[in-house]
Amino acid sequence: INLRDILKLPDRQEETMDNESLAAAFKALGDPTRLRIYQAIKDKDDICACNILEQMDITQPTLSHHVKQLCAAGLVSCRKDGRWMHYSANNETAARLSDWISV
């Protein structure tokens, strides 16, 4: 019998992966432009890239670069609609970050 199983503790690999994903999310939010983009996405349930561009003084390639990092960190989900991308916040990741901060 494994003590980790009895105490319902995550194994070290799970814990390391979780810490790595949390660090990636915090790192993605560490850039002021990405933080503003994430805020714009979080404020809407589903927002078109064109609407984000209207709110900020950045180019479409710059937006794509930053959103790609937010997606890779698990903070944002995207879907294509015609020629535009639509983004939504990943509430599960936001909840994990919030839980981690409040502990």
pLDDT digits (tens, 9 = 90+) for 72-90: 999 999 999 898 899 999 9
- Residue 85: CB partners within 8 Å, gap ≥ 6? 48, 49, 64, 67, 78, 79
**pLDDT at residue number 17:** 46
CB 49 within 8 A of CB 43: no
Alpha carbon 39 to its chain's center: 11
Structure confidence by residue, pLDDT tens digits, 9-66: 555 444 544 888 889 999 999 999 999 999 999 999 899 999 999 999 999 999 999 9
Beta carbons of 48 and 85 less than 8 angstroms apart: yes
Is-contact 90 77, C-beta < 8 A? yes
Give per-residue burial for 76-103: e unless 16+ CB within 10 Å, then b: bbeeeeeeebbbebbeebeebbeeeeee
